[in-house]
Structure formats: structure tokens, C-alpha cells
Amino acid sequence: MRLFFLLFIFIPFQAAAEQLKLDGFATVGLTITDSKTAGIRQHISQPSATYENEFGFTNSSAGGQIEWQANSSTQLVGQVLFKDNQEQNLDNIIQMAFLRYTPNANWQIRFGRTGLDLFMMTEHRDIGYTYTYDHPPTEFYAIVPHQNLDGADIKYTYSFSEGLFSSKFFVGRSTAPIVSDDNFFWDVELKSLFGLVLEWQSYDWTLRANYTATQSGNENEQQKQLRAALAQIPNEIWPQRPALLESLNIIGKRFNYSALGIRYDNSQWFAQSELSYIDSNSQVLKALTAGYASVGFYYNNHTLMTTFAQVKSNNTTPQRPLISSGPLDLLYNTIIRHTNFYLVDQNTLSVTLRTELNDSLAVKVQLEHTAVDSLPSAFYLHRDIESGNFDNSFNTLGISLNWVF
């Protein structure tokens, strides 16, 4: 990514002023919740969370985008984003940096860092002004930490009298951090990543389908330590030990992601929904189903919307060793927290009010009620995790000011 960064630095600005476009965007977000034990955050890469009796501003962000039209068919695009990250470095700040080549109206090719096209809001999920939600539905958007792809994609678009059809194939790799309790940090690498997106747009309707396949490219230090400790336990004491050893061996494991999306918008009423299914040959994430549905309407400069989102995995908790001791219990509890990371089962009902203050400024208020059947959860950070006393339902208020400039 440093190569693309340097390309933008050395653009001859004065000679190319007419071809250069600069845009900025920012969100100031306030989060309030009545959850004592589940710390609210927007995605599983976020190292900070908000609890009861706190005012959280960690969902705030600011960024900018630069586009340089080199000639009629070639464009350079870059986007940077400053948000709550465990590590603030150039690789995390650069969200996009790619060369786009458009030989004609039907074909488009991009090289570099692009958005990983898993969602309907992939290209603009960090620009809060562009959508009604205070934040994209947690149950659907927060489970995958990866937002960009280092590689290439090719898109074909064909116009019919009834609408517009497009297909896009992408290939590359991606890295993104996962942050969890007790300072757990893993910069997760996805390798051999490829996917196909089909989309149909016709008048008020948008239909979309996605299939993505990838493999895990690395592991964290804790996984190595757990495997080494587990290898010392005889099968007679822990019959499930071989399966647990296999679940901790994550490198090379396959992950498949499939999704369907639909949106209807007639400038008075709108509805949007997405469904996804993730499966793999890893015990850490056997199968996970997620989805949401939103319905709303426009009234003057206001938008009112309600959303229901749900996620559920079929992971199962490993059995305990046949005997109990201090070291065995500690090992078991540590492994549980690893293998149950994606053991999620929850739903959220929310109501959102968005008001346009002017052409570049909007304020949003979103009230959510979340019911959780499995805690601890990958979505949250946790307090008093050893007590076993978790909030199984809580309310969250999000207020944000969204600006584009």
C-alpha cells in the first residue's frame, strides 16, 4: 500500500488540478447503554467499548477521499479513515488505494486496495452521511472484521431496457484485526480469497447476490500455546482432545461466505434486507446465519426507519475433561473462550430517526433493544467475565452527527 500512497503524494497537483477531486467525511457518535457487562462496540476490530453510566465517543471517525482522473479511461482513487483502532498505522488508515481502468461503458478493472465486496454498503459503510442507520446492523456487519481487499477485480455492466445488470469477480488477500477480552489481539490474514457478485437494478429495485471463498493464512500466539498445552493431556483424561487440537489448527482452513440482498425505494417508502451464511471446515466457526430487515419512509427532511436484525451460529461448547484440577480447569476455560468466540445467538430491534440539517450535514438518533442468548459474545467486550452474570438484554442509544465536505 505504500506504493499507492506515494503515487498520490507525487501527483503534479497544479498541472492536474482540473482532474483532481478531494472529499472529506466525518462522524461524531455518542453511545449510551444500560448494559453492565457487555461493552457496546460497532465491530469486532474495535478495542474500546461503552458500558452503563458511560458516554462513549469511540464510534466517531473522520476520513477523506482523493480521486485523480489521469485520462479518459484511467483513474487513481485513495481513501483514508481515522477511527478507533488497536494499532494506528498506515496500513490500517488506508482503506482504499487503487487504479481504476475503464476501457468502455461495459468493463471496469481495478488494481490495488479496494473494498471487500461482501455487503450492499461495502463501498460507503464508513461514510455515515450516506445511509439512514446510525451504524450498520451489528448482527450482520460486525461479524466480519475484513473491510478491504488487496488484489484486483473486474466488473462487467450491461444495460437492458428493463434495468442494469452487473457482475464482478475479485481476487486477492485481506488482513484485519480481531480484538477481544484480556488484551487478545489477532491480525487475521485471509489468503487465496476470491468472490463473485451479481447485481440487478431496475427502477425502484436492487437485487444482489454474493459468493466468497477464502482460507485462513495465519494464527495467533495464543493458539500455539494452547495446542502445546493440550498436547500434554492424555486422551483418557480428555477424550475430546484430538478434536480440540484440530480446531486450534486454523491455518489453511476454508471459509465460505454467501449473501443475498434486496432494496426497494420509491422516494416515499423504502425497504432493505440482507441475509448471509458462513460455513467452514473449522470447529471455530462451523456455520453462522445472519440477516436484517429494515422498513422506513421519508417525510420532508426526515427519515424514520425500524430494523430487526438476528444472528445465530451452530457452534457447540466442548466437553470438560473427565477429571478436574486447577491447571485443567484453567486450560479448559481458556480453550472455551477461543472455540466459543463465534458462538453467537442474539437479535436487535431498533428505531432510527434521521434529519437532514442541510445538503452536507445530518443528525441521527437510534434506539436499540438487544436480546442475547449466548454470552460472552464476539460482538462485545466484557466486564466481570469470570462471574458468569451477564446482561441477556439491554438497550442502547446512539446519537451521531454526520458530515460530508
CATH code where residue 348 lies: 2.40.160.10
Burial class (CB within 10 angstroms; exposed 0-12, middle 13-18, buried 19+) of 313: buried
Rounded to an integer, the average pLDDT of 289-303 is 98
Q: What pLDDT, on the 0 to 100 scale, is given for residue 13?
A: 47
- The model's pLDDT over 15-46, given as tens digits with 9 standing for 90+, comes to 455 589 999 999 999 999 999 999 999 999 99
Report if pTM > 0.85. Answer: yes
Total domains in the fold of the chain: 1
Q: What pLDDT, on the 0 to 100 scale, is given for residue 17?
A: 55
Lowest-pLDDT range of 65-69, 74-78, 321-325: 321-325
Lowest-pLDDT range of 243-247, 268-272, 344-348: 243-247
Rounded to an integer, the average pLDDT of 63-89 is 93
At residue 39, the 3 state secondary structure works out as strand
Q: Which residues of 342-369 are buried (b: 16+ CB within 10 A; e: fewer)?
A: bbbbbbbebebbbeeeeeeebbbebebe
**Mean pLDDT for the chain overall:** 91
Contact indicator for 141, 46 with CB cutoff of 8 Å = no
Tell me which amino acid residue 121 is. M
- The span from the CA of 50 to the CA of 43, in Å, is 13
- Cβ atoms within 10 Å, residue 331: 19
Q: What pLDDT, on the 0 to 100 scale, is given for residue 3?
A: 46
Q: What pLDDT, on the 0 to 100 scale, is given for residue 184?
A: 87
H-type helices in 84-166, by residue range? 90-93, 138-141
Residue 14's pLDDT band, with cuts at 50, 70 and 90, is very low
- The span from the CA of 124 to the CA of 388, in Å, is 38
Looking at residue 389, what DSSP letter applies?
A: -
Contact indicator for 341, 317 with CB cutoff of 8 Å = no
Residue bearing the bigger pLDDT, 385 or 149: 149
Q: Is the pLDDT of residue 123 over 80?
A: yes
- The span from the CA of 248 to the CA of 245, in Å, is 5
Q: Domain of residue 137: give its range.
A: 2-404
At residue 204, the 3 state secondary structure works out as coil
Residue 170's pLDDT band, with cuts at 50, 70 and 90, is very high
- The span from the CA of 328 to the CA of 335, in Å, is 11
